[in-house]
Structure formats: structure tokens, C-alpha cells
Amino acid sequence: MSLSAEVRKSASRLRTWVMLGLVALLPTIFAFGTRYGDRGDRGRPDAGDAPFFLVETLRNGAGVPFVALVILSSFLLPLVVAVHSGDALGGEAAGGTLRYLLVRPVRRARLYGVKLASVTLFAAVATVVTLLVGLLWGAALFPTFRPLAIGSAGAPRLVPLGAWAYSGRAAVAGGYVVVALVALGSIGLLVGMLTASPGAANGVVIGALIAMQIVNQIDALRRVHPLLLTHWLMEWTNVLQAPVRWQPMLKGVVCFVAYIAGLTSVGLWSFQKRDVLS
Amino acid sequence: MTAVNADETPAISVRALTKDYGHLRAVNQVSFDVPRGSVFGFLGPNGAGKTTTIRMVLGLVHPTAGQIAILGREVTAPGDGVLAAVGALVEEPAFYKNLSGRRNLLLYASMGPEPVRPRRERVDDVLGKVGLTDAASRKVKTYSHGMRQRLGVAQALLNEPDLLVLDEPTNGLDPAGIREMRVLMRDLSGAHTVFLSSHLLHEVEQVCDHAAVINRGELVASGTVGELRGAETLRLETPDAADAAAVVAALGGSAEPLPGGLRVDLAGAAPEDLVRRLVDAGVRVRAVVPERAGLEEVYLQLVGEQDA
């Protein structure tokens, strides 16, 4: 059992391409909408509380990849990762192919590991698609595509990013989002294995996502907020501060890695103990 | 891969195999050996514990107690490497239905500890063996039940196994499908040890040389199909039943009356000797027919009619 066989299998499924198509579609809609939509506010955007780069993006194509990531990382990327991870073991069990993989034999720990790698790869591809499609339309549609100028909220001095700094920050942001998505995907992988039902697994992931978002809004539960994935989900936007605010991102990564390690340990242990009756 | 020490170690050996699901004992102290090169039928009514036993042998279900050895190797953890020398069909075959038969086999062939090589040739070879060459490029979802079953057998043959474990290979097939599968089993039995489960006696009687019968989780009989059927008896048709019975008794056999003659158990004596003595004694013989209880009668006795 190798990751490449797993990738061939995913690539042969229409659903994989539909999900990546959706991921590509949203930044496209945003880019076209911003460029050709109602121009009443253009050049005079209502800054409000919006992060600075959102304001900048309305004028500068170089900001589009980051806006795309803001839009997608809060829901669509978690959603497609939920579907993929729920199906990873849940789909094999529901379809009966799990028992045939295990008797080939593929060791259970290895199968679990390959599936986790497949979830990671899918999350990475979806994130890269988001950024690249944003970059493509930002460069192709927007009248200006110049170094993205960033600054701390409230600080008037803006620093334009050089090409390396720009792509470096995009990579860090993407990497952060991928780790967050893998943490969510670990839930789908585990629940899919336990329930032998891909639908149940991705329902649990989406449910967990929504529940964590709600709890994260309740001030009285402030103490548990740092334990929630969603609390840290958008912290990657700190790469658009000058200088980068690493601390909240590091905390977020610690939280994600703890989820991945914890859920994967439980999954491996329980998969090993389990009677495969599907 | 050919079997070394063909006769020495059994292909499958289970000892006191037991499985509890919670309070339910699904398999209780089952022991049997599947000799190398045999076609072994594992018989029992639905729910008797056949599938649970097979899943334990294949490392899918953890035994509560007992030992399993496959091809001479003690198996203690799931996914043991020895399974690479085993081909299996566990209940229904399962495929990625949106892919063609060939693509499915190519995927299966690329998994496992040692990928099958050369992959394409091997896949085409097994597709030919099960008669699916022409349908190989069609998506599996367009296959008939019988074709899926045969593709399942092709999947089991991919790694040139020494041992084939087939759980209910004819389940749900129409008569033509059953016939095709039976022919396939016979073709395969030369090159592999075949362990097949079935609730259909006829199946086992026609293709197996060894069998074990399981009922309510317990093994109730095992041996060669001949042994299971029990001793051969003769149906002797004669108008002189009383004289004939005396001759049988003189030979050391026993007889019981039948309409128009006797049922004779010769207890080892040769039927031709009986016929000569009958003729010498002036007993008129209309017919002497060797008879054996069908496996079905034996099976029904063993498992009780209500369970079969």
C-alpha cells in the first residue's frame, strides 16, 4: 500500500475534482465580482474593522490570494477536507474494500498512516489551488498588481513586500492552513474508521467545526477557547502584519499538532484492536 | 510460489478457536486442519460461525482464544505477512464501482507488502482465468452479480496464492452463475489449496474432497467427504428376502428389510462375494445397488433439519 496508489484512487474519482473545482470557483467569483461588480465603492472602500489587506486588495491584485484564503479557510476548505477525510477509511469500510486491503495484507497502522498522508496531501492541494487561483485572477484582472503593502492595524506606515517576502508569507499562511485542515481531517479519519460511514464522519467534522465556532463566540467560555481549532483557524492572517506576529500562529500550530497527535494515537490504537466486520 | 512440504504442514490449522461478541459466543472451541492441496468445504447453516471463523483466519477479527496457523506459520497479529500467500474472497467481493474491472485489479495489485509484478500481465492473466477479458474495460457498476463474483476470484488470484479462502463464492448467483463458479473452482483446485465455505451442500459435495461442518459455533464433524458420508451399503432386491438375510449373516454382515428386498451393510466384505454366495444358495437376485448416504442426509442429521 503506497501513497501513490492512494493518490491514483482519489484522482480517479469525479468527486475529488468537483471539490477542487469548487475551491477554484470561489476565488474566481470573488475576483470577478470585485473587479466588475458594483463599482460604487471602488477606491473609497469602507475600511471599518476589516483587516488592512482586505482594503488594499480592492485596489491591488496581489492581495487576492490572501483574500481568497480568508474566504475559503473559514468554511469551504474545512468542508472539502471533511468529505475527503470522512471517506478515507469510512468509505473503504462502507464499500467493503477495507477488508480486501487488510487481507492483501496491508498492516492497519500503515493503512491509517497512508490515509492521513492522503488527507494532508488533499488539504495541501486544495490550499495551493486557492492561493494560485487567487494569484492568477489578481494578476490577470486587476488594473494594478504591485507589491502588497502591509502594516500593523493602526500603524500608518505601510511596508511593501518584495517578491520573496510576498511568496514566503503566502507559503507560511498556506502551510498554517494545511496544518489546521489536517487537524480537522484527523477527526474525519477517526470517526470514519469507527463508524464505517463516510457520511457520519463528515457530518461529525462539520458539526464539530460549527460547535467550536459557536463556543468560540461565547465570552463566558473564554477559558476553553484556546482548546478550540476554530479559535486559531484564522490566525494565519498574522503573516500580513509587519513584522509578522508569530506568537499566536505558534500557539495555533501547537493546538493543531496536539489534535493531530491525540486523534491519530486514538485512531491507531483503536483500529488495531478492532474487529473488522464491514 | 509452490507449496513446500506439500503434505507436512496443513494449509490452515486452527486449534480451539473461540470468539465472543459481548455475551454471544459466535465460535466455540473450533479445531480443524485443511490439508495442503485439498479442496476443503466449510459447511454450516447461515449464522453458524463460518464467516467469523474465516475472518479470524484472515486477521480481520481478533480471536477471543485459540491458535491459527496458515501455511505452517503461527499467526498472532492482524495483517501477518503470510497473508500475501493467501487469496481471499470474504462474503461479497468489493470494488471501486466507478472504475473498470482492470483498473480495480491494478489498484489491488499495487497494494500489499510486495506489489504484484509484472502488474499488467498478471492482471490480464487472472482476468483471462475467470473469463472477464472482454469485460475488463467496463466499469464494475455495469457488471452482473456473477461477473462481480468472478472478478472477486480474479482479485484473490492476483498474488499467485498457495491458499485460496473463498467465503460463500456462489452466494446469490443464478444457476448459470453457480455452474460457472463450480467449473472455476475445479480449474483452480489443481494449483491451489482451496478453503471454501458454503451453506449449500450440493456445492461442497461436487467440488470438495474434505469438509468440516459447523453448527451454532461448534464443529460437529470433519474429515474427507467420503468419511462424512459414512459406509457404503447395498440395496438388494430379491423375492427371497429371508434366505438372503441368512447368507448376509453368514458373511458377517447385517441386513434390514426393505420393500422388495433388503438393505445390507457388509461390514467390509466384498459385494461380489455376497452375490456369488447368494447365487450358490439359490437366492434369486433382481438387483444389487451400492448406496451411500448423500452428504445432505448426513448434514441434516448433524445440524438438525430446522437449522438447515
| Euclidean distance between CA atoms B86 and B84, whole angstroms | 5
Nearest CA of chain A to the CA of B135: how many Å?
Answer: 19
3-state secondary structure of B31: strand
CB A269 within 8 A of CB A112: no
B289 pLDDT above the threshold of 50? yes
pLDDT (tens digit, 9 = 90+) per residue, B222-270? Answer: 999 888 877 778 899 999 988 999 999 888 888 888 888 888 888 778 8
Assembly ipTM: 0.84
- B95 touching A, CB under 8 A? yes
Report residue B7's pLDDT band, with 50, 70 and 90 as the boundaries.
low
Q: What per-residue confidence (pLDDT) applies to B8?
A: 72
Judge whether B60 is closer than 8 Å to chain A, CB to CB: yes
A3/B contact by beta carbon, under 8 A = no
Instruction: Tell which of B110, B123, B163 to mutate to test the A interface (max A CBs under 10 Å).
Output: B110
Q: Residue A272: list chain B partners with CB under 8 A.
A: 78
Selected residue with higher pLDDT from B175 and B139:
B139
Note whether B13 and B40 are within 8 A (CB): no
Burial of A238 (0-12, 13-18, 19+ CB in 10 A): buried
Give the pLDDT confidence score for residue A51 in this predicted structure: 55
Which residue type, as a one-letter code, is found at position B89? L
Cell of A261: 497527535
Chain B touched by A71 (CB under 8 Å): no
| Closest Cα in chain B, distance from residue A278 (Å) | 10
Search chain A and give the residue with CA nearest B58.
A103
- Provide the β-strand partners of residue B290: B234
Closest C-alpha among A130, A115, A100, A269 to residue A201: A115
Q: Where are the alpha helices (DSSP H) in B64-144?
A: 101-109, 119-129
Using CB atoms within 10 A of its CB, is residue B224 exposed (0-12), middle (13-18) or buried (19+)?
A: middle
**Which triple of cell numbers denotes residue A114?**
497512508
Distance from C-alpha of B304 to C-alpha of B308, rounded to nearest angstrom: 7
Residue B308: pLDDT over 70: no
Which string of DSSP letters, residue by residue, matches B66-87? EEEEETTEE--STT-GGGGGEE
| Distant-in-sequence contacts of A158-161, Cβ < 8 A, 24+ apart | A158/A242, A159/A242
Among the listed residues A187, A186, A182, A179, the one whose alpha carbon sits nearest the alpha carbon of residue A249: A179
Q: A15 in contact with B at a CB cutoff of 8 Å?
A: no
A:B CB pairs within 8 Å: 89
Q: Which letter does DSSP use for residue B97 in this model?
A: T
Partners of residue A102 in chain B, C-beta under 8 Å: 58-60, 78-79
Query: Max alpha carbon distance in chain A (Å)?
Result: 64
pLDDT digits (tens, 9 = 90+) for B75-121: 988 888 899 999 999 988 999 998 999 999 999 988 877 777 788 99
| B97 contacts on A by Cβ (under 8 Å) | 95
pLDDT of residue B180: 84
Contact across the interface for A100 and B108, Cβ inside 8 Å: yes
pTM of the model: 0.87
Q: Do B86 and A12 touch (CB under 8 A)?
A: no
Is there a contact between B162 and B131 (Cβ–Cβ < 8 Å)? no
With contacts defined as CB-CB under 8 Å, which chain B residues touch A276? 55, 60-61
Best of A18, A104, A110 to mutate (most B CBs within 10 Å, chain B): A104
Q: Is A11 on the interface with B (CB under 8 A)?
A: no
- pLDDT of residue B305 exceeding 80, the answer is no
Check residue A224 and report its DSSP letter. Answer: G
Nearby residues of B259 by Cβ (< 8 Å), 6 or more positions away: none
Q: What is the pLDDT of residue A57?
A: 64
Tell me if chain A has a CB within 8 Å of the CB of B59. Answer: yes
DSSP helix/strand/coil, B119: helix
3-state helix, strand, coil in chain B (%, to 5): 35, 25, 40
pLDDT by residue for chain A (278 residues), tens only, comes to 688 889 988 998 899 999 999 999 999 998 898 888 765 444 444 444 455 556 666 678 888 999 999 999 989 999 999 999 999 999 999 999 999 999 999 999 999 999 999 999 999 999 999 999 999 999 999 888 888 887 766 666 677 888 899 999 999 999 999 999 999 999 999 999 999 999 999 999 999 999 999 999 999 999 999 999 999 999 999 998 878 889 999 999 999 999 999 999 999 999 999 999 98
How near does any CA of chain B get to the CA of A8, in Å? Answer: 8
Asked whether the beta carbons of residue B99 and residue A12 sit closer than 8 angstroms, the reply is yes
Which chain A residue has its CA at the smallest distance from B21's CA?
A: A275
